[in-house]
Amino acid sequence: MNRTMHFVGSNLAAVVTLVLITPIAVAQEPVPNDPPLRWWKGNIHTHTFWSDGNDFPDMVGEWYRTHEYNFLALSDHNILSEGQRWMKYSDIERRGGKDALKKYQERFGGGWVETRGEPDSPDFEVRLKPLTEFRALVESRGSFIMIQGEEISDRAEGKPVHLNATNIKELIRPLGGTTVQEAINNNLRAVEEQADRTGREILLHLNHPNFGLAITAEDLAAVVKERFFEVYNGHPGVKHLGDDHHPSVERLWDIANTIRLGQLKSPPLFGVATDDSHNYHGKPGSRPGRGWIMVRSRYLTPEYLLRAVKAGDFYASSGVTLTEVSFDQETKEIQIAIQPEDGVKYQTQFIGTAEGYDETSKERTDKEGKPIKASRKYSADVGKIFATVKGTSPSYRLTGSELYIRAVITSDKPHHDPSFEDQTEQAWTQPVGWKQSLE
């Protein structure tokens, strides 16, 4: 209720009006004491004006919140969105376009958007808000949370080696290495050290292995402590399908897991899907909404989400939604339930490698007869299709001879914003049935 009080002085010509606003109590939903398991949708590879993205971090968070995501990790290159940071308007306009600041002001208001200098001056700047400041404007309990991340952008052997640390507390500088494998290991140890020292759940995953054709299947296999990599990245420039001399990312996954389980007796890699979003104003490039992970957890908190991911209780998607993914340890059966869309057909391939697989180790060579490291050839026994099932309730029962089995679900629905030619919507489940291979 608003109450208006008037005070009129005997010698005053003016009336002073005070408006007293009575606070309105808002009922808060109690936190459930035993919430059910459910799927949460999120992206853990995102860029903003803090590095090479082209929008303000609070605007990026708002985009994901309003597009039915439940969590988002900002992961700018070698920087955390914290502290004081001002950006020249000329750089904002160059990267985000003439309307970037206008859209920011329209969404959050002039009282929130901080500027300094005269608008027509070359020194005109806009303040970039840190995560600790803007998260309160976009987060919603039980619906949407922000997570701090970093893309540790390194190089080794002249190639890009990028890893994303999700729920990181302190910045980690790239540590490098004489080889790609050494660089991955060095940065992995730094993340592990921080997690142990701070008591924090941190997820490290290897980004876009075919970017710059930098990471081979042998590299992916050798760093056995690294358990996660991007099976799908929405950036159009990461060579998701490989080329005439380099395998696709999915093929890399199967080769690496065959080496891990068949030779190194180590757990397999799990696959995540991400946007690697940079572009938010409709321009060509790496746009949001192309790839994500669905995590099964009771609570929407970084700790519970990352524990579920580390346990393999998640799937990756570029559009297909699964309502159930289960693996029965006794019957060795994988069961999947697909949420159907009208007029859309689905095909599920169960892919893996059998024990006693035939490996062809023939190497391609360059003009001088030297081996080309990235083009090692493997037989069709590695990552072969064990079964193809149509419909929305695919299942597969392992025979006991498989090193592992994973499923890729492909629809005939074109992707709404494809990152490569003829892309349709897909989902990828994690490898199962592999524990016996470690014995």
We report the CATH number of the domain holding residue 355 as 3.20.20.140
CA gap 317, 41 in Å, rounded:
10
How far CA 56 is from CA of 74, 103, 144, 289, in Å, comes to 11, 10, 18, 17
φ and ψ at residue 219, rounded to 5 degrees: -65, -45
CA gap 127, 145 in Å, rounded:
22
pLDDT of residue 16: 46
pLDDT confidence tier of residue 366, bands split at 50, 70 and 90: low
Beta bridge partners of 19: 4
Instruction: Establish if 369 belongs to a structural domain.
Output: no
pLDDT of residue 372: 52
Average pLDDT over residues 417-422: 97
Average pLDDT over residues 298-312: 98
pLDDT confidence tier of residue 356, bands split at 50, 70 and 90: confident
Average pLDDT over residues 220-246: 96
Q: With contact defined as beta carbons under 8 Å apart, do 241 and 420 qualify?
A: yes
CA atoms 170, 173, 179, 182: torsion sign: negative
CA gap 427, 294 in Å, rounded:
10
Instruction: Establish if 31 belongs to a structural domain.
Output: no
**Token representation of residue 289:** 């909404």
Instruction: Establish if 152 belongs to a structural domain.
Output: yes
Percentage of the chain lying above the pLDDT 70 cut: 90
Instruction: Establish if 95 belongs to a structural domain.
Output: no
pLDDT confidence tier of residue 22, bands split at 50, 70 and 90: low
The residue behind tokens 């080329």 is 243
Cα Rg of the chain, angstroms: 25
Instruction: Establish if 44 belongs to a structural domain.
Output: yes
Average pLDDT over residues 375-390: 87
Average pLDDT, the chain: 92
Instruction: Establish if 281 belongs to a structural domain.
Output: yes
pLDDT of residue 32: 83
Top pLDDT among 34 and 315 is at: 315
Top pLDDT among 175 and 361 is at: 175
Instruction: Establish if 93 belongs to a structural domain.
Output: no
Could you read off the pLDDT of 80-99 as tens digits, one per residue? Answer: 999 999 999 999 999 999 99
Q: Give the total number of structural domains in the chain.
A: 1
pLDDT of residue 2: 43
Containing domain of residue 381, as a range?
2-26+37-85+128-362+375-438
Average pLDDT over residues 203-213: 97
Average pLDDT over residues 368-382: 68
How far CA 339 is from CA of 64, 88, 325, 336, in Å, comes to 22, 46, 12, 10
Instruction: Establish if 109 belongs to a structural domain.
Output: no
Top pLDDT among 382 and 365 is at: 382
pLDDT confidence tier of residue 378, bands split at 50, 70 and 90: confident
**Token representation of residue 434:** 């592999």
pLDDT confidence tier of residue 369, bands split at 50, 70 and 90: low
Q: What is the DSSP letter of 141?
A: T
pLDDT of residue 5: 40
pLDDT confidence tier of residue 379, bands split at 50, 70 and 90: confident
CA gap 266, 403 in Å, rounded:
11
